[in-house]
């Protein structure tokens, strides 16, 4: 079968990589650095903490793995760039019969995740439920007040315990970010324009939920959302644009995230840059995390 014809029938992809548990040695980190583009390598080197460098590296490798294995473009022929708003895209070599292939990555907490669809707009976001770095939950919500509508705040604050409210907050936040990332607008979008009615109120790890609905400027939009708990603390939301929610489709059941190992991550990797012995030294000299976690916010909105 012709490789382009195989690519056209590609189904949706959902991958997750546990970057917080990944402890690369010199050889592994050096290999990863050789398998990404020079500007990506330089960008990753600028992170102050190894936690963030690992997550960013995993995100770039996830994208290249996707393109190499699903679009069958050789690893060393893949050229990625970013839009003005920071969203990564494939520059060249896109199969002509697959013009609407879309992918997105996110990293926060303990995971890096990727979602891809051959025909739909797609955005993915992951958020880890955690206590505010300083101050009370009430003060944290006061600071974030303008990011949600009154009905969303009612949904958040109607949860019984302090922790349950935080959990619902981060669930809403992941949903909003997934939509923003799907449309590629970056910072500056008024988040009160979008409102989510989340269903069900309680989710279980390992299941995909697709009942949540979104209003944009108080109108129902042609978008679907997949939600999943990777574990008890990590919410993942996938926004899918251009869906007809009135028609039965494979999207109604959603797509589970597959947890990848490091071997999976680099299974198709091919070095594209020379080895740089100083790259490991730069990485190894950094602390894993800040001594005091002041916030659970992302290092980047668009990755």
**Average per-residue pLDDT for the chain:** 88
Compute how many other C-beta atoms are within 10 angstroms of the C-beta atom of residue 267.
Answer: 12
Q: Over 70: is that where the pLDDT of 198 sits?
A: yes
pLDDT over 70, % of the chain: 87
Partners of 126 in beta bridges: 236
Q: Return the pLDDT at 86.
A: 77
Model pLDDT for residues 207-258, shown as the tens digit of each residue = 999 999 999 998 888 899 999 999 999 999 999 997 655 444 455 678 999 9
CA distance 34 to 279: 10
Query: Of 223, 278, 286, which is closest to residue 26 (Cα–Cα)?
Result: 278
CA distance 117 to 216: 22
Q: Return the pLDDT at 285.
A: 96
Q: Return the pLDDT at 11.
A: 82
203 or 295, greater pLDDT: 203
* Segments making up each domain of the chain, as ranges: 10-284
Cβ(194)–Cβ(179) below 8 Å: yes
Q: Return the pLDDT at 189.
A: 87
- The domain made up of 10-284 is a member of CATH 3.90.470.20: yes
Model pLDDT for residues 57-110, shown as the tens digit of each residue = 999 999 999 999 998 899 999 999 988 877 888 887 666 666 677 899 999 999
């Amino acid at each position: 079968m012709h490789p382009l014809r195989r690519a056209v029938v590609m189904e949706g992809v959902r991958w997750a990589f546990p970057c917080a548990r990944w402890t690369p040695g010199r050889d592994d980190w050096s290999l990863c650095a050789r398998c990404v583009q020079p500007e990506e390598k330089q960008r990753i080197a600028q992170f102050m903490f190894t936690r963030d460098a690992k997550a960013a590296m995993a995100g770039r490798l996830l994208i290249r793995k996707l393109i190499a294995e699903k679009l069958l473009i050789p690893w060393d022929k893949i050229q990625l760039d970013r839009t003005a708003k920071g969203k990564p895209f494939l520059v060249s070599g896109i199969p002509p019969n697959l013009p609407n292939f879309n992918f997105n990555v996110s990293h926060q907490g303990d995971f890096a995740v990727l979602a891809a669809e051959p025909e739909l707009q797609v955005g993915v976001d992951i958020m880890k439920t955690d206590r505010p770095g300083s101050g009370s939950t009430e003060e944290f919500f006061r600071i974030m007040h303008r990011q949600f509508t009154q009905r969303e705040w009612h949904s958040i604050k109607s949860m019984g315990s302090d922790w349950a409210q935080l959990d619902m907050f981060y669930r809403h936040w992941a949903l909003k970010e997934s939509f923003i990332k799907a449309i590629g607008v970056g910072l500056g979008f008024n988040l009160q324009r979008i409102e989510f009615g989340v269903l069900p109120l309680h989710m279980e790890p390992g299941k995909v939920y697709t009942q949540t609905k979104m209003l944009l400027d108080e109108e129902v939009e042609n978008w679907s959302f997949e939600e999943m708990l990777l574990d008890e603390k990590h919410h993942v939301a996938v926004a899918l644009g251009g869906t007809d929610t009135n028609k039965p489709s494979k999207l109604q059941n959603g797509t589970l995230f597959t947890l990848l190992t490091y071997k999976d991550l680099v299974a198709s990797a091919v070095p594209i840059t020379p080895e740089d012995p100083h790259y490991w030294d730069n990485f190894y000299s950094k602390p894993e995390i800040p001594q005091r976690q002041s916030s659970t916010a992302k290092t980047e909105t668009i990755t």
